[in-house]
Amino acid sequence: TDPTNAASVFRILVAEPDGNAMNIGWLSRTTRLYSVNRTTNIVEGWGAPLTSEIPGDASGTNVFADGTPPTNAVFYRISVQAP
């Protein structure tokens, strides 16, 4: 995001099942790197990321497919950092 631009926001666009996977999509910038975490219990914490250092896509949208989502309730977290 650009802190000088009120229209520049970090936002999750989609979190939906696709067959046996869970697709997580978010707004992205090519000047940022992204990580995806998953947990079934927020109180116990996030643990290691499922994937990290995903470069922002030139289209402005990134999508990650979690191919092994738990069958019970699950929480996802997208982290962003400057390279």
How many angstroms separate the CA atoms of 60 and 25, rounded? 10
Q: How confident is the model at residue 1 (pLDDT cuts 50, 70, 90)?
A: low
Residue 2: the pLDDT is: 75
Region 34-50 average pLDDT: 95
Give this prediction's pTM: 0.87
d(CA 49, CA 71): 19
pLDDT for position 5 = 86
Q: 72 forms bridges with which residues in the sheet?
A: none
Query: What residue type is 42 in one-letter code?
Result: I
Least confident of 2-6, 24-28, 53-57: 2-6
